[in-house]
Amino acid sequence: MTNGAEMFKGSLAAAEAARDTRAYSGFIAGLFEGVVRRSLFTSASIPAMSGDAKEFLDTLRLLLIEKVDPEAIDREGAIGEEVIEAFRAIGAFGIKIPRSYGGLGLSQSEYHTVATLLGSHDAATSVLLSAHNSIGVAEPVKLVGNREQQQRLLPRLARGEISGFALTEKSAGCDIWDLKTYAIPVHEGGVLVGYRLTGEKLYTTNAPREDHESGALHQNREAARQKSGGTSADRAKGQGPETGKRILDPGADGRGCHVACAETSPVSPEEGRGNRQGIETAGVTNPDL
């Protein structure tokens, strides 16, 4: 039986180190403590929606009615290119990206309203856009990327270069500490020039269309064995990994979900995220989806 000391080694220890130690007295904080602070809930107000958000919602609602046929998408197992282009035209790939980088700059609560509308119409397009706008490359780069990365990537993502996401493996679903994919540092002349990702991912969202991909992995082979040193990496199209067979996803099959083989897939040194940053980012992006 695993004792408490063993349980908090490796990545779990890193997760504990990244924990927010501040005390909170809000309604949601109380739920995690088993306390329902009803007086706070009754006094909570819904943030006012901006005019830009209302306009975008009206435009999106009309687009969904006119161009998105959920039954056809599910029957054919694909989202038509005309639908993708229509989403690009209204800025749907840059919902939370700041206006300074070409996005719509909507707030988190406004994004949730958009996600509700998408989910009420079609699952496949909802997953396509929510994955791109939350667990894909844009949100981590916005939150923890450096200025150069933000200037280079965010405008392209806002214009509609699609981001995928790779987490699940054969032995790792909800238990991300069981990830086997790892990064091998590549040095030239004693200088780190990048990483080689090694492993296989399942259920890689947006794989057929993606121009960029965000993924979770270990920092090295030994860390994978010890379940420690987790990190995340972003890579651009043409860097791998190889897209493998398609995995059926009834109800949302049109989004495209594939096996991704990351054998010796290269990633530049600046595209990695540290363990703590990766964990903190996941804490924000996963609820988004």
| Region of 192 on the Ramachandran plot (φ > 0 left; ψ -120 to 50 alpha; else beta) | beta
For residues 122, 123, 124, 130, the Cα torsion angle rounded to the nearest 10 degrees is 110
By residue range, what is the domain housing residue 61?
51-162
In a domain, 288, yes or no: no
How do residues 120-141 score in pLDDT, each as one tens digit? 999 999 999 998 998 888 998 8
**Are both 133 and 191 inside the same structural domain?**
no
**pTM (predicted TM-score):** 0.71
Q: How many residues are there in the chain?
A: 289
* C-alpha to C-alpha distance for 65 and 272, rounded to whole angstroms: 40
Asked if 157 and 170 sit in the same domain, the reply is no
| Distance set, CA 103 to CA 84, 100, 118 (Å) | 16, 7, 18
Query: In the predicted model, is pLDDT for residue 40 greater than 60?
Result: yes
Using CA atoms, how far apart are residues 60 and 18, in angstroms rounded to an integer? 37
DSSP state of 267: E
Q: What is the CATH number of the domain that holds 174?
A: 2.40.110.10
* End residue of a domain, out of 114, 132, 162: 162
pLDDT at 222: 54
248-288 per-position pLDDT tens digit: 554 444 444 444 444 444 555 555 555 445 555 555 555 45
CATH number of domain containing 126: 1.10.540.10
